[in-house]
Amino acid sequence: MLEKLPLTYRKYRKLLKFQDVDGGRIAYLDRGDGPVILLVHGVPTSSWLYRHVSDALVQKGFRVVVPDLLGYGASDKPKGYEVYHEERQGLRLLQLMDALHIESWIHTCHDVGGLWTWEMLQQDASKTAGLVILNTIIYEAGFQPPMRFDEGWAARVYTFLYKWWLTNGLMINLTLKNGLADDRQALKFRDRFDREGYKIPMLQGGNRALYYFFTQTCNALPTDYKELLQTLDKPATVIWGAKDPMLKWLPQAEAVMADLRLSDANVHILEHNSHFIQEEEPEQIAELINRFASPICSD
């Protein structure tokens, strides 16, 4: 049985492996044995977001792969704009799993990781055995980003605040406060090492990928993924924090459930939780993923 992941981000990084993909080198965590679950983060996070969830899944008998997409976490953060396009991020997920010789996996996505996932599935859906959706960008109706910028100086200044050492902590505090339902829980990050995993990647250039997100993704989704979801012949489940101020379930619930052919039993709404449900309810999320994945993986 593997020991739990270290509590500090600096120690956590020492466990990461690296793989060359389109545009640069990405970091990833690969732990455990058994059926594979791929956990995909969003903005402005990294694999660190899933540290408690991945621990719990490993203990339940899964092999867990958790990448830092290009521009995030310990991965390369190249200069450029289109390098962070959702289609290319989707390709990188396929390239990583191909490099690891993984032929089938349960796919979990969060936040903008949903867009990377839809783009990945449009390129090749054959190896995805099932889909777990956690507070993810799906349709415009449910997407209410806190900021929308045109390309230019305003967006550059705002995203640079995540990188500048004098304002980095403030921006991370605001991000956590906005994404956690309980203010007291958000404040805990000031007294623990959890914030390292959010702060350090931004100090090292994570603002570049953020600039693309705020000026491109927030203004217009790459495409309408309705046709993809309607033709996606995959079992799926939804786990969603109801208090999320940025990604709303109810405005898109009917459409998503119809398009993915979900029953009420496939939808788990966490009434007291917000956006970063991996921080708030990691054990519950791991157990819900386990219940969903185990029958699929045993077929």
Residue range 77-136, pLDDT digits in tens: 999 999 999 999 999 999 999 999 999 999 999 999 999 999 999 999 999 999 999 999
List the one residue out of 115, 132, 144 whose CA is nearest residue 260. 132
Confidence band of 240 (pLDDT split at 50, 70, 90): very high
Strand ranges in the chain using DSSP code E only, listed in sequence order = 17-21, 24-31, 36-40, 63-67, 105-111, 128-136, 236-241, 267-270
Residue range 46-72: average pLDDT? 97
Residue 7: per-residue pLDDT: 75
pLDDT score, position 123: 97
Nearest-Å Rg of the Cα atoms of the chain is 18
User: CATH for 9-145+223-298, among 3.40.190.10, 3.90.78.10, 3.40.50.1820, 3.20.20.70?
Assistant: 3.40.50.1820
Burial of 24 from C-beta contacts in 10 A (0-12 / 13-18 / 19+) = middle
pLDDT range class, residue 5, cuts 50, 70, 90 = confident
Q: What is the rounded distance in angstroms from the CA atom of residue 288 to the CA atom of residue 291?
A: 5
- Length of the chain counted residue by residue: 299
Average pLDDT, the chain: 94
Read off the pLDDT of residues 278-294 as tens digits, 9 standing for 90 and up.
999 999 999 999 999 99
Please give the share of the chain, as a percent, with pLDDT higher than 90. 87
What was the pLDDT predicted at 2? Answer: 66
Q: Which of 277, 160, 141, 131 is nearest to 221 (CA)?
A: 141
260 pLDDT exceeds 90? yes
What gap in Å lies between CA 268 and CA 159, rounded to an integer?
33
